[in-house]
Amino acid sequence: MELKPKDLKLIETKKGLISLLHSDNNQLNFAKALRTVKYEKRIEELQEELIKLQAWISENKQKVVVIFEGRDAAGKGGAIRRIVEHLNPREYKIVALPKPTDTESGQWYFQRYVHQLPQEGEMVFFDRSWYNRAVVEPVNGFCTQDEYELFMNEVNDIERMWVNSGIYLIKIYFSITKEQQAKRFNDIINSPIKRWKYSSVDRKAQDLFDVYSEYKNKMFERTNTTWAPWKIIDANKKYKARVEAMEYILDKIPYDEKDNQILKPQNLEEEN
């Protein structure tokens, strides 16, 4: 690979040299190392903008909700971690609710999510959200058809009320192929530190892939509104997906001192 002078400068940085030394099969992979350094540089630029965004939210007592939906192993959690990595932990929270308790199951479906909505000056990131009822629950038999239809008939009006109350509501869906999901499941199963992530729902995800697709498409058709549209991100390349998610969040909120030059999307080539 012939390196341009500006690329060589990136490779010669600490991160560049570390990436180069992590090349596979004891062969220096300059192309992969360069992609990694460019990705990290882009992430840092966007994280600086996210700090400015958070300051604006805090100072102006704004309320922001970002929900991440997508198939199992699509990379939702990893994207959220990079987004909040350098934010003030007192002014955001990550919500990943477990299975409802018996008490919660007897409540209005949205009740436990309403309790998690942001206070003034706060950002809330949902790693899966109320949209469990639109896809995961009906696919796996965790709700009845009547409960599913009730949710689908209510959700747009509820989100409109939240938006009208002053909440910025951002809905992101991470989309991956069946082949990519299988590859990531295999990586998780064979990793001693990640194996805990592989759940009983995950074990059925490949067999139910087409059923998930059916309900996912219905969700987009019925809940992609002007006040709360869906942003679908191709997450087969997880690093690129993280960058795109950051860019989208920053673009959707009109915070002060926004650097539009930084926010111009960039083409980051990456291997799977």
Cβ(234)–Cβ(228) under 8 Å?
Answer: no
Mean pLDDT of 78-84: 97
Query: What residues contact residue 188 under an 8 Å CB cut-off, 6+ apart?
Result: 73, 194, 195, 197, 198
Mean pLDDT of 241-246: 97
> Would you call 221 helix, strand, or coil by DSSP?
helix
Residue 91 domain flag: yes
What are the tens digits of pLDDT across the range 109-120? 999 999 999 999
Mean pLDDT of 209-216: 98
Report H helices in 60-84: 76-84
What are the tens digits of pLDDT across the range 35-60? 788 899 999 999 999 999 999 999 99
Residue 137, pLDDT > 70, answer yes
What are the tens digits of pLDDT across the range 21-40? 455 555 556 567 777 888 99
Residue 27, classified by CB atoms within 10 Å of its CB into exposed (0-12), middle (13-18) or buried (19+), is exposed
Write down the mean pLDDT value for the chain: 90
Q: How many domains in the chain?
A: 1
Residue 110 domain flag: yes
Residue 21 domain flag: no
CA distance to 62, 72, 178, 196, 205, per residue, from 200 (Å): 38, 11, 17, 11, 9
> Could you give phi then psi for residue 258, rounded to 5 degrees?
-65, 130
pLDDT bucket at 191, cuts 50 / 70 / 90 = very high
Q: What is the dihedral of CA 52, 53, 55, 61, to 10 degrees?
A: 160
What are the tens digits of pLDDT across the range 141-158? 999 999 999 999 999 999
Residue 178, pLDDT > 70, answer yes
Residue 55 domain flag: no
Residue 11, pLDDT > 70, answer no
Residue 264 domain flag: no
> Could you give phi then psi for residue 16, rounded to 5 degrees?
-65, -45
Q: What is the pLDDT of residue 215?
A: 98
Mean pLDDT of 213-238: 98
Q: What is the pLDDT of residue 10?
A: 56
The amino acid that residue 40 corresponds to is E
Query: Residue written as tokens 């009109």?
Result: 254
Residue 46 domain flag: no
Q: What is the pLDDT of residue 18?
A: 46
Choice among 143-152, 174-183, 225-234, 253-262 with the minimum mean pLDDT = 253-262
> What's this model's pTM, rounded to 2 decimal places?
0.88
Of 231, 244, 240, 236, residue with least CA distance to 177: 236
Tell me how far apart the alpha carbons of residues 140 and 170 are, in angstroms, rounded to a whole number. Answer: 26
Residue 137 domain flag: yes
Residue 211 domain flag: yes
Residues spanned by the domain of 208 = 61-258
Tell me how far apart the alpha carbons of residues 90 and 40 are, in angstroms, rounded to a whole number. Answer: 25
CATH code at position 94: 3.40.50.300
